Amino acid sequence: MAPQVSSELESTESMPLGPEMSPRARRLRVGAWQVARDLPASFRYAFQGLVYAFASQRNFRIHVLTGVVVFALGLWLQLSVDRLAVLVLTVAAVLVLELLNTATEAVVDLSVGRRFHPLARIAKDCAAAAVLVAALSSLMIALLLLLPPLLVRLGI
């Protein structure tokens, strides 16, 4: 699915605007500016964002896989429901920030194009730093919640 998303985005970048656009290009561009007409459409757009992030963002995939492993480990260690909830919230925070980082990068790239601008670099670096801070703190939370029961389970 990644190639389709990528090729649609790449194919619209250099398209002319206005009446000389192809019908397919017009559908892609017009759909991007419309507000969702109903609740299912809103969910569909959100799901498309998740699919795009998973297909195109290596770090998002790493965070999803890490979250699944951490949650599975928490279940295996029979953590209490409140501790599992803390793990879920922590992983969700990292994923949300990764999605916001992806959106920030896309908007910055859209606004500055292929030119360099120091404020664009700052925006992208700060968005990436937010993900880094969340990932490091989630690592600490996971260690605090998982390490003691893991050591007990392993007999160490």
Question: Which one of 29-38, 105-114, 122-131 scores highest in mean pLDDT?
Answer: 122-131
Say which CATH class 57-154 falls into.
Answer: mainly alpha
Q: Is the pLDDT of residue 129 over 60?
A: yes
Euclidean distance between the first and the last CA atom of the chain, given in angstroms as a whole number: 45
The domain segmentation of the chain, as residue ranges, is 57-154
Helices 58-76, 81-112: crossing angle, 10 deg rounding = 180
Q: Is the pLDDT of residue 25 over 90?
A: no
Q: Is the pLDDT of residue 32 over 90?
A: no
Can you tell me the mean pLDDT for 14-32? 53
**Alpha-carbon gap, residue 2 to 52, rounded angstroms:** 7
Written as six digits, the tokens of 117 are 């601008």
Phi, psi of 31 (to 5 degrees): -60, -30
| Residues acting as catalytic residues | 98
Q: What pLDDT is stored for residue 104 in this prediction? A: 95
Q: What pLDDT is stored for residue 156 in this prediction? A: 87
Q: Are 131 and 94 in contact (CB under 8 A)?
A: yes
Q: Is the pLDDT of residue 124 over 60?
A: yes
- Whole-number Cα distances in Å, 98 to 53, 95, 143, 145, 148: 9, 5, 21, 23, 29
> For residue range 43-96, what is the model confidence (pLDDT) as tens digits?
999 999 999 999 999 999 999 999 999 999 999 999 999 999 999 999 999 999
Q: Are 134 and 100 in contact (CB under 8 A)?
A: no
**Alpha-carbon gap, residue 33 to 144, rounded angstroms:** 45
Cα of 133 vs its chain's centroid, Å: 15
Written as six digits, the tokens of 20 are 């000389």
Q: Are 21 and 75 in contact (CB under 8 A)?
A: no
